[in-house]
Amino acid sequence: MTLDNTWFSEPQSGSGTAFSLKITAKLHEEQSQFQKIEIYQTEHFGKLMVIDGYIMLTDRDNFIYHEMMSHPVLFSHPNPEKVLIIGGGDCGTLREVLKHDSVKLAQQVDIDERVTRLSEIHFPELCDANNDPRAELHFADGINWVKDAADASYDVIIVDSTDPIGPGEVLFSTEFYKNCHRILTKNGLVVQQSESPLLHLDSILMPMHQRMKAAGNSHTLTFNFPQCVYPSGWWSCTVGGNFDLASFRENDARNKTFNTLYYNSDIHKAATALPEFMKTTV
Ligand code: SAM
């Protein structure tokens, strides 16, 4: 919602809070086949993308989310070659994934082509890697994509979806994770954004661990990171797999051959430290 036309505000009814950004212009608004997409120019955070009233990303802080959705899971896998991104239509996660030389194929499957087309116009730097020969952009429902995919066809699946409402809801279900598990290779890993540990521990984070385990992952691990434009400013992603996820290719991460603004090997380790209230639950 906009407050007096100079602020965009996202109220959180569950926590009685709201996050607001000072805006200078509305650049675009459309109702796509799937969702309402808005783009604003903010005063201090660059451009802002909103889907169905929820903040998706801003120019200023999206690097934290996109790097944490990609690098921890890719440095946890011994040799990630085939990567599937479900959602992620803004292409920021795809760009990070393709920084890894081991990756030979990165397929992005977003239900809504309009998110990508608008990102190409308004967030061109996130789309830098779209023409990489290893990148494939598909516009389809991620739920059906994993249902139809062949067994053992991906090393890493990154679920960069909207919140568990609307077209993103089923992406948080045990059945979806079962299909992810089926289409992953032996050391395969799935990662999904798991919302705010402070606000969504019982409703999303804990059930995600349980459902990933019920789907066949013996190990799950949550990475914490700040994201000031998302509810509470504290966000997370959760990895599922079948080996000890505390171990990762630390040397490779320390000597990474590409630039990041947030991720490094120390952040990797620090992000897995759990506060007391999460220890008994996740
Ligand atoms: N970082 C963001 C967040 O958590 O607010 C997510 C960004 S990304 C733009 C989310 C994408 O998920 C959207 O582009 C949306 O179209 C896509 N999406 C939602 N449901 C989907 C589904 N069932 N299959 C594929 N993509 C889906």
> What SS3 class is residue 137?
strand
Check if the beta carbon of residue 102 is closer than 8 Å to that of residue 109.
Answer: no
Pick the atom of ligand 1 nearest to 69's CA: 1
- H or E element that contains 193: strand 184-193
Domains parsed from the chain with CATH numbers:
2-58 (2.30.140.10), 62-279 (3.40.50.150)
Under the banding of pLDDT at 50, 70 and 90, the label for residue 280 is: confident
Note if 160 is an active site residue.
yes
Predicted local confidence at residue 170, as pLDDT? 86
User: Residues 232-249: pLDDT tens digits?
Assistant: 999 999 999 999 999 999
Q: What is the pTM of this model?
A: 0.97
Instruction: Give 101-133 pLDDT, tens digit per residue.
Output: 999 999 999 999 999 999 999 999 999 999 999
Q: Is 39 in the pocket of ligand 1 (CB under 6 A)?
A: no
Verify whether ligand 1 is closer than 6 Å to residue 137 (CB atom): no
207 lines ligand 1 (CB under 6 A): no
Ligand 1 atom 27 nearest Cα: 87
Mutate to test the pocket of ligand 1, among 111, 208, 225 (most ligand atoms within 8 A of CB): 111
Question: Which of 61, 112, 155, 160 is flagged as catalytic?
Answer: 160
pLDDT value for 14? 86
Enter the tokens of residue 216: 């066949």
Place 37 in a pLDDT band, splitting at 50, 70 and 90. Answer: very high
Comparing C-alpha atoms, which of 28, 23, 29, 31 is closest to residue 4?
23
Band (pLDDT 50/70/90 cuts) for residue 281 is: confident
Contact 160, 171 (CB under 8 A): no
Å from CA of 167 to ligand 1 middle: 8
**Are 23 and 42 contacting, i.e. CB atoms less than 8 angstroms apart?**
yes
- Three-state DSSP class for residue 107: strand
